[in-house]
Chain A
Amino acid sequence: MAHNQRNRTPLPRLYLVSSGEENACNGTLLLNQLSLLPRSLPCMVQIREKQLNAKELLGLALQARAIELPEGTLLLMNERADIALAAGFDGVHLPENDCSANTLRAFAPELVYGCSVHSAAALCIAEESAADYLLFGPVFDTPSKRKYGAPQGLKKLGELCRATSLPVFALGGITPQNAARCIAEGAYGVAGLSIFQDTAKLAETFEQFYLHLNQ
């Protein structure tokens, strides 16, 4: 197994994924979210904006990096380790069919590597390459994922958590209220997109999440 060279401080247990609707001309939702993060509550933030080209994505990433973030907050780039490095991000999130973390660690040992996992084979790859965390979902029903069929459910989340020692973030239809059920199944933390998009309530949402996560 590859040795993870990252200095292992515990990861935040709340995980925000960007909307996937950032516009190259006015990427405002993400930057708004970042500037409104409550000071004392760190989180993982993944920029996942597949509609942007590399130039636009780097531009957005640099703007995100320029915002002063709560201590312990990690910025992650979906898929593109090169853009993560160029923007000074903390890590990269790898979809199931991306390069393995080991492959990328060879030239970027300092990054945090997360892996989406939907199958036993993907778990195997993630474990072999000593991923820093796993992202699993959709756990609950969520409108954006309905076209892919029924949610995976809490039972499958539990099976994954018991099959691995890596921290697992549960994604898909997560609310502060059902977050504790994910933790009860062994999840390390919870992730969401739409729940964090009401920026007027962002601080309140974060506080509620941490209330339930810390119970």
Chain B
Amino acid sequence: MMFSKPFLCVITDEALCPVTLAEEALKGGAAMIQLRHKAASGSQLFIWAVEIRKRCQQYHALCMINDRVDIALASKADGVHLGQQDMPARAARKLLGELGIIGVTASSPEEALQAQQDGANYIGFGHIYPTRSKLKDSSPLGLDILQKTATLVSLPILAIGGINHENAASVIAHGASGIAVISAVSRAHDPSMAAGELVRAIHNNGTL
């Protein structure tokens, strides 16, 4: 897609101000921010999206909006991230045009292949490790399935779920192009420093 080296995506935490968190994450070296807030109103999401996009541009990072293609279009964000319960990627592509970036969450190699067929630009794949950020009813996928999926699809894979600065390098070594985190940055004492540590960890890829 758009990164020559492994990249960090920070997803906003519903318990914190997304704009402040995005700012901290960008300072620490995040290359992608995903605005995700299921309970927020359209106007609130739009205001946040505009502010986050502005900051992303300053840092040459990508601003992605979870689920809401309308908010992405209205705020001129770089694209949308779609879960399996969201609008299908093909429908979103018609609205966003060829230049819009579409990420699709996949939890199996089959879903990843489907996302690729549907015209996604990257795949959010997970959860790799156990995570407390979201309640999960399935068991973690682990590194082997990550590696298998990375060989199956040609799209960049953004690994998600329980990733921290200690396991981040192994995730990259197993075929991920980047990592996505929520709590590893949002719940850190110093979110900017936490983001920086993660960026350093994924840039040490391969040397486990």
Taking a contact as CB atoms closer than 8 A, the residue among A55, A80, A85, A103 that contacts B46 in the complex is A103
Taking a contact as CB atoms closer than 8 A, the residue among A54, A98, A99 that contacts B85 in the complex is A54
Q: Is B19 an interface position by the 8 A CB rule?
A: no
A71-93: CB near B (< 8 Å → 1, else 0) gives 00000000111110110000000
Task: Give A104 to B71 CA distance when docked, in angstroms.
Answer: 8
| A92–chain B nearest beta-carbon distance, Å | 8
Interface residues of B (CB under 8 A from A): 41-44, 46, 67-71, 73-74, 84-88, 91-92, 94-95
Taking a contact as CB atoms closer than 8 A, the residue among A53, A104, A107 that contacts B86 in the complex is A53
Please determine whether B87 and A97 come into contact, CB atoms closer than 8 angstroms.
no
In the bound complex, residues from chain A placing their C-beta under 8 Å from that of B91 are: 58, 86
Please determine whether A82 and B87 come into contact, CB atoms closer than 8 angstroms.
yes
Closest CB pairs A-B (n = 3): A82-B69, A98-B42, A82-B70
Please determine whether A86 and B86 come into contact, CB atoms closer than 8 angstroms.
no
Q: Given A53-B86, A54-B85, are A85 and B95 also a contact pair (CB < 8 Å)?
A: yes
Please determine whether B43 and A98 come into contact, CB atoms closer than 8 angstroms.
yes
Given contacts A54-B85, A81-B70, 4 further A-B contacts (CB under 8 A): A58-B91, A82-B87, A86-B87, A99-B70
Please determine whether A83 and B87 come into contact, CB atoms closer than 8 angstroms.
yes
Task: Give A107 to B71 CA distance when docked, in angstroms.
Answer: 10
Task: Give A81 to B70 CA distance when docked, in angstroms.
Answer: 6
In the complex, 22 of the A-B residue pairs with CB atoms within 8 angstroms, ordered by the A residue number, are: A53-B85, A55-B84, A58-B87, A79-B42, A82-B68, A82-B70, A86-B69, A86-B87, A86-B94, A95-B41, A97-B43, A97-B44, A98-B41, A98-B43, A99-B46, A99-B70, A99-B74, A100-B43, A106-B74, A107-B70, A107-B73, A107-B74
Q: Given A55-B86, A100-B43, are A80 and B70 also a contact pair (CB < 8 Å)?
A: yes
Taking a contact as CB atoms closer than 8 A, the residue among B71, B88, B92, B95 that contacts A99 in the complex is B71
In the bound complex, residues from chain A placing their C-beta under 8 Å from that of B94 are: 86
Q: Is A43 an interface position by the 8 A CB rule?
A: no
| B76–chain A nearest beta-carbon distance, Å | 9
Q: Is A180 an interface position by the 8 A CB rule?
A: no
Q: Is A183 an interface position by the 8 A CB rule?
A: no
Q: Is A94 an interface position by the 8 A CB rule?
A: yes
| A116–chain B nearest beta-carbon distance, Å | 12
Interface residues of A (CB under 8 A from B): 53-56, 58, 79-83, 85-86, 94-95, 97-100, 103-104, 106-108
Task: Give A100 to B43 CA distance when docked, in angstroms.
Answer: 7
Task: Give A85 to B95 CA distance when docked, in angstroms.
Answer: 8
In the bound complex, residues from chain A placing their C-beta under 8 Å from that of B67 are: 54
Please determine whether A103 and B74 come into contact, CB atoms closer than 8 angstroms.
yes
Taking a contact as CB atoms closer than 8 A, the residue among B41, B70, B87 that contacts A104 in the complex is B70
Which residue on A lies nearest to B46, using beta carbons?
Answer: A99
In the bound complex, residues from chain B placing their C-beta under 8 Å from that of A55 are: 84-88
In the bound complex, residues from chain A placing their C-beta under 8 Å from that of B46 are: 99, 103
Task: Give A79 to B43 CA distance when docked, in angstroms.
Answer: 10
Which residue on A lies nearest to B85, using beta carbons?
Answer: A53
| A140–chain B nearest beta-carbon distance, Å | 27
Taking a contact as CB atoms closer than 8 A, the residue among A54, A56, A83, A97 that contacts B42 in the complex is A97
Q: Given A79-B42, A82-B68, are A104 and B74 also a contact pair (CB < 8 Å)?
A: yes
Please determine whether B73 and A82 come into contact, CB atoms closer than 8 angstroms.
yes
Taking a contact as CB atoms closer than 8 A, the residue among B41, B44, B74, B95 that contacts A86 in the complex is B95
Task: Give A174 to B122 CA distance when docked, in angstroms.
Answer: 49
| A99–chain B nearest beta-carbon distance, Å | 5
Taking a contact as CB atoms closer than 8 A, the residue among A56, A85, A97, A106 that contacts B41 in the complex is A97
In the bound complex, residues from chain B placing their C-beta under 8 Å from that of A79 are: 42
Which residue on A lies nearest to B87, using beta carbons?
Answer: A54
| A32–chain B nearest beta-carbon distance, Å | 25
